[in-house]
Each structure stands twice: as structure tokens, then as C-alpha cells.
Amino acid sequence: MSHPLVDPRLMASLGSHFPSLCRVQYLTEDVDADGQVVTAWKDRYVDVTCNVMPLKGREIRGKDQTYVVANTSIALQGHYPDVKESDRAIVGSTTYDILLVEQVIDTMTRLSCEVVR
């Protein structure tokens, strides 16, 4: 019988290091009565404790507009193996596109994300 490398009680005691709540959503497709494809985001997880850490950003100037692309890391407290790169994460009023999902020793899930403003 194998024992976990990190005791789950340790992650539970680190609650103050995960001060925000995250909603993870996945995109669904359906066909309406007129035969049109309709897409909608549905919740995969709600109220997951997390820590949002800005990494870097860049400003892109176009002819008529300027926007910012910010890279962010979101650490989810817990193991969420079914989160996918096609999902999105919402923390507060900010929606993040998930670029990469990493499982950290089956105790934490790290999301590398991007947001365009």
C-alpha cells in the first residue's frame, strides 16, 4: 500500500493561502429547434478555493485599439483531474482562458491562464 507524499491534512490547513473562489466551466454544444448549433458554458466546479498569481503581461497596440494580454497562474486547492485546457476559470469578475493544467502531487491543481482586456 502506498502512502501519499503530502498528507491531505496539510493542504486543508493551508486554507488562508487560497483566499479566492474559482468557478471552472466547460463549453457545451447543442442543436436548437431550428437546427442551429448553440454553445453554452456549464459549471464543472463551483466555489473552489484558489490563489491567483499574476505572472506577466504585454500590451498590444492595434490601429484602432490597444489591449493587454495577461498571463496568470491559478492554484486550486485540491486535485481536479478532469479540468481541461479547453475549460475556462472565473475568479471574481475576471474570466481566464486555461492554457495548461498541471497536477501537483495529487494535492493541488495549477492552471496556467491568459486573460485579454
9 has pLDDT over 80:
no
CA gap 99, 112 in Å, rounded: 6
Confidence of residue 111 (pLDDT cuts 50, 70, 90): very high
Q: What's the pTM? A: 0.78
**Over the stretch 76-94, which tens digit does the pLDDT of each residue have?**
998 899 999 999 999 999 9
CA gap 111, 117 in Å, rounded: 19
Enumerate domains of the chain plus CATH numbers.
8-116 (2.40.10.270)
At residue 78, the pLDDT reads 87
